[in-house]
């Protein structure tokens, strides 16, 4: 069945440095790739998404890249700040019309 | 105003009991979902409804029964609760039909604990 793999599971970076989270998906028909941020005890919230007709999208300090040939996509956060600490989930919309989530990355920003 | 609201926020109950979780969205979305997030934070879809019609029904025990009286509401009833049902249950909604490439908006979750 469809699968989304996410790496790393935990990531610690110095405040001000960049963080990169990578995901691969199995369903070549996937055409929508959202990223969600979940703070401790809170709900997942969409931070950025990308559709299959573009290779990159940027929103201030956050960017997402998509490589459809290799079936992988990545989240890049630049100039990290303490409030970026959270669990981040990638996801892919597959042919079965359901969103498959990655297993999450716990990002910690060191002061 | 909360866009997707779930009640209750916390639910603590004994094994074997029956309980319900309610969800309402005021975004005018056509599709609603139930997700289960376990202790390892895995988010897994359980059901999706589009305009009151069941679209996705994952491999979920039939003790779980969703009900959608209208497109703004999707409730989840669970019979004969088991220890393994302990998790956070999230309701979500999105514009368009299930499978449309639109973002999902999540509720605040219901933390279910089975004693």
pLDDT at B114 over 80: yes
Please report residues of B whose CB lies closer than 8 A to that of A43.
90, 106-109
The model's pLDDT over A38-85, given as tens digits with 9 standing for 90+, comes to 999 999 999 999 998 889 999 999 999 999 999 999 999 999 999 999
pLDDT of residue B4: 97
Q: Which residue of B has its CA nearest to A53?
A: B101
SS3 of residue A25 by DSSP: strand
Give the residue carrying structure tokens 């909604």. B93
Residue of A43, A46, A54, A64 to mutate for B, most B C-beta atoms under 10 A: A43
* CB contact A101 to B (< 8 Å): yes
pLDDT of residue A1: 66
Q: Distance between CA A10 and CA A101 in Å, rounded? A: 16
pLDDT of residue A37: 98
Q: In the numeric block, which tokens belong to residue A82?
A: 């303490």
A58-68 burial, b if ≥16 CB within 10 A, otherwise e? eeeebbbbbee
* CB contact A5 to B (< 8 Å): no
The model's pLDDT over B59-100, given as tens digits with 9 standing for 90+, comes to 788 999 999 999 999 999 999 999 999 999 999 999 877 667
Tell me the pLDDT band of B1, cut-offs 50, 70 and 90.
low
Nearest to B33 by CA among B4, B59, B11: B4
The residue-averaged pLDDT of B34-52 equals 90
């Amino acid at each position: 069945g469809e699968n989304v793999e996410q790496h790393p599971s935990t990531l610690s970076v110095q405040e001000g440095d960049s963080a990169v989270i990578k995901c691969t998906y199995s369903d070549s028909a996937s055409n929508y790739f959202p990223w969600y941020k979940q703070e401790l005890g809170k709900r997942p919230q969409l931070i950025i998404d990308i559709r299959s007709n573009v290779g990159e999208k940027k929103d201030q300090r956050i960017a997402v890249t998509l490589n459809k040939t290799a079936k992988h996509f990545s989240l890049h956060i630049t100039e990290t700040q303490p409030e970026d600490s959270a669990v981040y989930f990638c996801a892919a919309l597959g042919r079965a019309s359901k969103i498959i989530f990655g297993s999450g990355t716990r990002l910690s920003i060191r002061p | 105003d909360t866009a997707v609201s779930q009640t209750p926020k916390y639910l603590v109950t004994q094994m074997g009991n029956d309980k319900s979780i309610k969800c309402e969205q005021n975004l005018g979305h056509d599709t609603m979902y139930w997700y289960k997030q376990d202790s390892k934070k895995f988010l897994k879809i359980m059901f999706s409804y589009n305009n009151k019609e069941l679209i996705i029904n994952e491999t979920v025990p039939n003790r779980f029964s969703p009900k959608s009286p209208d497109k703004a509401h999707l409730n989840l009833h669970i019979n004969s609760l088991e220890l393994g049902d302990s998790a956070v249950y999230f309701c979500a909604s999105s514009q368009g039909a299930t499978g449309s490439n639109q973002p999902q908006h999540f509720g605040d979750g219901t933390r279910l604990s089975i004693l």
